[in-house]
Amino acid sequence: MHIEAFREYCLSKPGVTEGMPFGPDVLVFKVMGKIFVLCGIEPFETFNAKCLPERAIELRETYPQDVLPGYHMNKIHWNTVRTDGGVPEPLLRELIDHSYQLIAASLPRKLREELRDLG
């Protein structure tokens, strides 16, 4: 997956904004103001995404070289995922979706309602 396709996919979701709060090398995507995915830009080799702990373990066992505990993140709830082809692209999209859904579900009720109205 290339950075352009990754960015376009993330931004296609309701309520998503992008920014660089950690500096010019890290692109951050938020749903209703809460981070759900972040990635390095140069080079774009990995992204971090939230994941249910049981699923994170399963993914790390299935893709031991390509799905790792989240770099600079809570290692129980976040994965760092390589984008260079070891993980099939449909699964990369699924992991982005999963992270988005987890974060959206954790939003306060008012923000969940606003997000629902955007969708």
pTM: 0.94
- Total structural domains in the chain? 1
Residue 72: what pLDDT?
A: 86
106 in a structural domain: yes
Residue 106: what pLDDT?
A: 96
Residue 63: what pLDDT?
A: 97
Residue 52: what pLDDT?
A: 97
Residue 85: what pLDDT?
A: 85
47 in a structural domain: yes
Residue 73: what pLDDT?
A: 87
Q: Which of 5, 46, 40 is nearest to 20 (CA)?
A: 40
117 in a structural domain: no
Alpha carbons 97 and 50: distance in angstroms, whole number: 10
118 in a structural domain: no
66 in a structural domain: yes
49 in a structural domain: yes
CATH at residue 80:
3.90.1150.30
Give the residue numbers spanning the domain of 99: 3-112
Distance, first Cα to last Cα, the chain: 25
In this prediction, the residues of the chain whose per-residue pLDDT falls under 50 are none
Helix (H, G, I), strand (E, B) or coil at 74: coil
119 in a structural domain: no
Residue 1: what pLDDT?
A: 86
Q: Which amino acid is at 44?
A: F
